[in-house]
Structure 1
Amino acid sequence: MADFLGLVEQVPNVIWSGVIAAMIALAGVVLSNRSNNYRLNAQLLHDASEKHRDRVEGLRREIYLQVSDEVALASNYVSSLVGGDLDNTDIRSELKGVTTALARLSLVAEAQVTGVANKLVSHYGMLMMRIFQEMYPVKVIGQEINKVEARLVLLSGEVTDTLKKITNLEGLEGSREEISRLKLQYEKQSLLVQTCESDLGELNESYRTHVGQSNNALLPSFYEMSKLQMELMMVIRKDLGVDTDVEGFQKQLELQWEVMRAAYADVARAIGK
Structure 2
Amino acid sequence: MPSFLGVPDVVWSGVIGSSIAFFGVWLSNKSNTDRLTHQLRHDAHEKSIQRRSDIRKAAYLEFAEEFAKANAYIGGLVNRISFENMDTSEGLTAFQAAAAKVQLLTEASTADAFATLMTEHVKLFVEATERIIPIQVTKASIKGKDRLYEECQTEIKRILSEMSAFNETASTDRLRFDALKRALEERMRHSDAIAAERSALWDTANGLTADYTRHVMSRIPDVMRASAPVLAAMRRELEIDGYNVNFEKMMLDRFMRMHEEAKRVTDGFIERALSKQQLSNGESPSAARTS
TM range (shorter): 0.7 to 0.9
Of residues 47, 50, 53, the one that matches 1:51 is 47
Q: Is the 8 A contact 1:71 1:229 kept in 2?
A: no
Displacement of 1:74 in angstroms is 2.4
Question: How far apart in 1 are the matches of 2:97 and 2:65?
Answer: 12
Question: How far apart in 2 are the matches of 1:9 and 1:163?
Answer: 141
Q: Which residue of 2 aligns with 1:4?
A: none
Instruction: Tell me how large the CA RMSD over aligned residues is.
Output: 2.9
Q: CA, structure 1 residues 224+135, in 2 after alignment: closer, same or farther (shift >3 Å)? A: same
Question: How far apart in 2 are the matches of 1:166 and 1:254?
Answer: 66
Q: CA, structure 1 residues 69+218, in 2 after alignment: closer, same or farther (shift >3 Å)? A: closer
Q: Is the 8 A contact 2:78 2:132 kept in 1?
A: yes
Displacement of 1:139 in angstroms is 0.7
Of residues 129, 133, 140, the one that matches 2:126 is 129
Q: Is the 8 A contact 1:74 1:95 kept in 2?
A: yes
TM-score, normalization by structure 2: 0.78
Q: CA, structure 1 residues 38+191, in 2 after alignment: closer, same or farther (shift >3 Å)? A: same
How many matched pairs? Answer: 267
| Structure index of larger Rg | 1
What does the per-residue CA deviation read over 1:12-33, in whole Å, with 9 as the maximum and x for residues that have no partner? 5565565555555554444444
Structure 1 residue 225 corresponds to structure 2 residue 223: yes
Q: CA, structure 1 residues 228+203, in 2 after alignment: closer, same or farther (shift >3 Å)? A: same
Displacement of 1:148 in angstroms is 0.9
Structure 1 letter corresponding to 2:230: L
Q: Is the 8 A contact 2:88 2:129 kept in 1?
A: no
Question: How far apart in 2 are the matches of 1:20 and 1:252?
Answer: 78
Which aligned pairs between 1:1-273 and structure 2 lie closer than 5 A?
10-11=6-7, 16=12, 19-20=15-16, 22-86=18-82, 87-88=84-85, 90=87, 93-170=90-167, 172-243=170-241, 244=245, 245-273=247-275
Question: How far apart in 2 are the matches of 1:36 and 1:173?
Answer: 119
Displacement of 1:35 in angstroms is 3.8
Q: CA, structure 1 residues 76+103, in 2 after alignment: closer, same or farther (shift >3 Å)? A: same
TM-score, normalization by structure 1: 0.82
More divergent stretch after superposition (23-32 vs 40-49): 23-32
More divergent stretch after superposition (236-245 vs 88-97): 88-97
Question: How far apart in 1 are the matches of 2:90 and 2:274?
Answer: 35
Question: How far apart in 1 are the matches of 2:174 and 2:106?
Answer: 88
Structure 2: gaps (5+ residues): 276-291
Q: Secondary structure at the match of 1:242?
A: coil
Structure 1: gaps (5+ residues): 1-6
